Structures are given as C-alpha cells and as structure tokens.
C-alpha cells in the first residue's frame, strides 16, 4: 500500500508506529548490551516496563494499521 494513496490520518498512524519501532529497537539494543549491567536495578526495572509497554503500543498500532479499510 503506497502512502500517497491512503488518508492522512492513516499515514500518521504508520509514521507513529515506524518512529516507535526505531525507539523500541534502540531500547532493546541497549537492554541487550553489556552497558545495561551498569544501570541500577530500579532503573533496569523501569526500562523493562518501558519495553513491555512499547511492545504493546506497537501491537495496537499494527492492529489499527492491519484493519484500515481498503479504499
């Protein structure tokens, strides 16, 4: 589906999802790195929570995108 042929609000949802995926990937990369071991435990827990919430948010945006009406 070309972004030029879909409504603007749908393009915004796709852009939001794509930007969130970039941030989520960066967070996952950090969590998987050796540097993560230097973070204090409370902050690690917050980062894991953030990763979980971001994953769910991406899933919701994907569900919306997958259910856009075919026009």
> pLDDT at position 5, please?
83
Q: Answer whether residue 57 shows pLDDT above 60.
A: yes
In a domain, residue 47? The reply is: yes
In a domain, residue 16? The reply is: yes
| Dihedral of the alpha carbons of 71, 2, 63, 27, in degrees to the nearest 10 | -160
In a domain, residue 71? The reply is: no
DSSP structure class, residue 40: -
**Mean pLDDT for the chain?**
94
Total structural domains in the chain? 1
In a domain, residue 53? The reply is: yes
Supply the range of the domain harboring residue 8: 3-66
pLDDT digits (tens, 9 = 90+) for 28-47: 999 999 999 999 999 999 99
Binned at pLDDT 50, 70 and 90, residue 2 comes out as low
Average pLDDT over residues 6-18: 96
């Amino acid at each position: 589906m070309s972004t030029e042929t879909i409504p603007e609000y749908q393009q915004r949802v796709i852009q939001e999802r794509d930007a969130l995926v970039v941030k989520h990937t960066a967070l996952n990369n950090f969590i998987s790195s050796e540097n993560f071991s230097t973070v204090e435990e409370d902050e690690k827990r917050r980062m894991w929570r953030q990763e979980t919430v971001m994953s769910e948010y991406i899933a919701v945006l994907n569900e919306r995108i997958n259910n856009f009406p075919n026009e």
